[in-house]
Structure 1
Amino acid sequence: MAAHVTFERALAPLSAVRPELAQNALRTLRPGGGGAAGLMLALRYVQARFLSVWGLLIAALLCPPQMFADFAIYSALANFLSIAALLRFETVFFQNSDPDRLGRAFRLSLVAGCGFLALVALAAFVSSGLGLVLAGHAALFVLSLAGRAAIRLATAEATAEGDFRAIGNAGLVQALIQPSAMLALILPFGASSLALFAADAIGHAVSATYLSWRRRFAFQQLALRAEWSLRELRRSARQWSAAPRFLLPSALLSFGFSVAPLFALPFTSDPIFAAHVALAMRLLDVPTQMFGAVTLPLVMSSLRRRQGPARRRWARILTVGLVVVAFALFAGAAGFALILDPWLEETQWHGIGAVLAILSLFYAGIALVSPLNEIGTLSRDPQHPMVINAVAAVATVAIIAWFGKLSPALLCAVGVMSLLRMGAHACLTWTGFGGRGAAGRLPQGSRI
């Protein structure tokens, strides 16, 4: 379902526009210009989100509800693996602008990505041979994952260099191509999982191609700056080993929590309710990612201009402001969904308003954690955000196991857990902000 673009573009993980990368890129921009550059990226990102909504709505009309649940699992798995594809070595781009260092980071990320994709392709081939998945689905999954990995690497490099226009345009390209590909496949051949998976792969491939073409000259310099050698790759992997050891687990835990309701989809005997949950998640992901795309660059830019007690006071003010805005945003979304639901009484989507209202609790917490987690990287104890994400993920799995099936009560429970997780991040920002931050506390040989 090409409409999944509202779900995977920029979840933790993901996709061509990632708010945490936009925040890091502010460090490379001239003083005073970061906020404006971040705001322009946010505006382009919002454009892409609105363009993709029409594809989501059309897909809801053309596709059986069960396809939403099936594709939700497919999309979540692809996004999860895409986070690990480069082993987070792409974060090295934000250390400094030394050309030799950037070249080494680029080559290491490229090798890590190719090796990871080769392993995934082998696993897909074996699964297809054993009859566990269809050959077409396996091939499209690998292609889609390759597109996501390429977007992640190209986005990291472009963001580090401040090319926000290329990143924003890549988002717009995918928002146009993916729904169009979906319609081009469904209208003549009918709705099927293969058409949805193919549209997903096409959208990511075209977006990755566009972004890579825009950054082709920079890539040439990074790839050819020094002779490729195993010695260089081993040295780089040892130097930046903190990326896969620290950042990767934290990112995977955060993403895993953000898609927690999907884990409960197989535990239901009501496919309509499962489809309602899957569609509601995609709809609510739109304001969630808009919130992150707008707040992250602006919040981190404003904090960068302050030091000491002034920065601590401003962080607390921002925390309160973010909480107020997020709750107002998602309360409005929940109210609108409940008002709209009676108009769907004669359709297969009647009842989705209540699901949207319940999931608004969950997504309010998800939206707030994105900027709060980035603020937390400047705290005195930067390892705490990873611990919070781990505890929340384990608790959520326990909650799903306790309920045993997908239900409104389960959705309420994971919503409360999301709010508790957000509250823990807010307390960390309020009480532990300051100090040297994450990078300053890592061993010298493994700083990222």
Structure 2
Amino acid sequence: MTAHVALERAHIPPRRPALMLAAGRRFVAARAPVLRSSFGSAILLGLRFVQARLISVWGLLVAAILCPPFVFAAFAVFSALVNFVSIAALLRLEVVFFQSADPARLGRAFRLAAAAGLAFCGMAAILLVGLVLSGWVAPAIALLFLGSLSARAVLRLLWTEATAEGDFRAIGNSNVVQAIAQPAIMLILIGIFGPKALALFMADTLGHVLAALYLLRRRWRAIAPLIEPQLWSWRSLFVAAYHWRSVPLTLLPSALLAYGFAIAPVLALPYAANTALAAQVALSMRLLDMPTQMFGTVSAPIALNRLRAYAGPRRRFVARVMALGLIGAAAMLFGAIAVVATLVEPLFEGTNWDSLGRVLALLAPFYAGIAVLTPLQDMATLSRQPAWQVLINALALVAIIAAMIWFRALSPELLQVIGLISILRALVHTGFIWLHLGDAETAPAIASDRKVESTFRNNPMR
């Protein structure tokens, strides 16, 4: 009996459950404000993004009434091309902002990304001048392309810095500024110059410039200490570029491949024997693009900002929970869209958009995979093995092109296959995060960074 009592008191104290319950309450109470803040930030960011999209949609609808279809087609090409090029503007060096909460490291990464963006836009300007002199591009279009590219690069840099520091209000407000300014400028320019593509190009450039100026003004106090003149030196940039040399070699190709995958269904539209199906697919892609962008815009900043605060096993655990939560949220959102589209299908019978609901339901899995991949791919940039992203996205793009070659025409079966490929790609990324996500930087590298920072602090122009 004495032994029994001793073991009981040693291993299962009488007041242990109460202590555990109290500790659990303290744990939840300590983290509840953070959870509420993150959830509230996500809701506010989502509402601002929805507001911005609704405003821009109404402006585009009015402009669509005033402009002929070929003008909108030219604008779509311009926008897609400048978006694609802007992905490479910073060489994906902005993802380094989330690897550590150290202000010194953030400053080095910010200066390196800014220098890379400036050099990239300079090379783009030289290339555009060559195209203008050779007669391939009109001077006005080249100037607007360069302006839109530069504004997008600045926005990408400032958005990422604001995300790393948790200023989600600034991100949402910049979207609203662009959504209000760009359609208004577009309508004014159409009234002045007429329904021409150049008016839409100019509105796109000015809208992004105004959003960048707003964000720069909003984040200036936080950015100013990162770009002080005494912190700049060629050697510090070269050391930072050498330290993060793997980022452009792995993450940039991955981002470009992911963008190519997202627009892959457009490649199949010219091969559609049924022109009505091609039109339904094009409209469905336009409709599903909005919830896809909403999902990525809201979830990616919150996920990256939360992961930045953790390291080691805790970061790995939080990333796993987030990955599963993102998959569940995407499944519910796009599953609901597919169900609603199927239910409203009878409303389109006998019209030019017959079977639109079915096409929406077929494309919903494809866009669910794309939506969840945006935050998953950003989370995977914190891994020590970023090259796997390139392989996953390359294999997915090859698979979707092979499917198009196999079917040889746009069909419901092809839509089912590309949806399956998109879901599988998202699941493979999730498995990668589950197995390999950890600290992207090792302890020796961090020690080396601190030594370099100390050297440049003592002799900044060295």
Q: TM-score, normalised by structure 1?
A: 0.77
Identify which of 329, 332, 337 aligns with 2:336: 329
Q: What is the rounded CA distance, in whole Å, between the counterparts of 2:270 and 2:135 in structure 1? A: 20
Corresponding residue of 1:71? 75
Give the direction of change, closer, same or farther, for the CA distance of 1:343–1:266 in structure 2 (3 Å limit). Answer: closer
Distance 1:166 1:136, change over 3 A: same
Q: In the alignment, is the contact (CA less than 8 A) between 1:66 and 1:275 conserved in 2? A: no
Cα distance, 1:157 vs. partner?
1.9
Match of 1:439 in 2: 440
How far off is 1:97 after superposition? 4.3
1:237-256 alignment runs, 5 A limit: 237-256=241-260
Larger relative contact order (Cα-Cα within 8 Å, sequence gap ≥ 6): 1
Normalization by structure 2: what TM-score? 0.75
- Provide closer, same or farther for how the CA distance between residues 442 and 302 of structure 1 changes in structure 2, counting only shifts above 3 A: closer
Counterpart amino acid of residue 167 in structure 2: D
Structure 1 unaligned spans of 5+: 1-29
> Could you say which residue in structure 1 is the equivalent of 2:58?
54
* Alpha-carbon distance, 1:133 to partner: 3.0
Aligned to 2:181: 177
Aligned partner (choices 415, 423, 429) of residue 425 of structure 1: 429
Pairwise CA distance, 1:314: 4.2
Are the structure 2 counterparts of residues 228 and 206 from structure 1 closer, same or farther at C-alpha, using a change threshold of 3 Å?
A: same
Residue 194 of structure 1, CA deviation: 1.7
Please show how residues 366-445 of structure 1 align to structure 2 within 5 Å.
Answer: 366-373=370-377, 383-402=387-406, 410-426=414-430, 428=431, 433=434, 437=438, 439=440, 444=445
Structure 1 residue aligned with 2:369: 365
Mapped to 2, the partners of 1:100 and 1:308 lie a distance apart of: 21
Aligned to 2:212: 208
CA separation of 1:55 and 1:280: change in aligned 2, threshold 3 A: farther
Deviation at 1:312, TM superposition (A): 8.6
Residue 331 of structure 2 aligns with an amino acid whose one-letter code is: V
In the aligned structure 2, how far is the partner of 1:324 from the partner of 1:220?
42
Aligned positions of 1:313-324 closer than 5 A: 314=321, 318=325, 321-324=328-331
Is the CA contact (8 Å cut-off) linking 1:72 and 1:278 kept in structure 2? Answer: no
Q: Structure 2 regions of 5+ residues with no counterpart?
A: 1-32, 450-462
TM-aligned CA deviation for residue 360 of structure 1: 2.7
Match of 1:117 among 117, 121, 124: 121
Q: How many residues align?
A: 412
Per the alignment, residue 286 of structure 2 pairs with 282
Residue in 2 aligned with 1:87? 91
Deviation at 1:317, TM superposition (A): 5.4
Q: SS of 1:439's equivalent?
A: coil
Matched letter for residue 132 of structure 1:
W
Structure exhibiting the larger radius of gyration computed from Cα positions:
2
Q: Does 1:223 align with 2:246?
A: no
Identity of aligned residues (%): 47
Aligned to 2:146: 142
Q: Cα deviation per residue 1:181-233 (whole Å; 9 max; x = unaligned)?
A: 22222345433322222221111111111111222233332221524322121
Structure 2 distance, partners of 1:328, 1:191, is: 39
- Asked if the contact 2:89–2:117 (Cα under 8 Å) also holds between the matched residues in 1, the reply is yes
The change in CA–CA distance for 1:268 and 1:150 in structure 2 (over 3 A counts) is farther
Cα 1:309/1:126, change in 2 over 3 Å: closer
User: What is the root-mean-square deviation in Å for CA atoms of aligned residues?
Assistant: 3.8
Q: Which residue identity is paired with 1:433?
A: W
User: Which whole-Å deviations, capped at 9, do the CAs of 1:26-59 have from their partners, x for residues lacking one?
Assistant: xxxx954434333332332222222222223334
1-structure distance, mates of 2:167, 2:316: 33
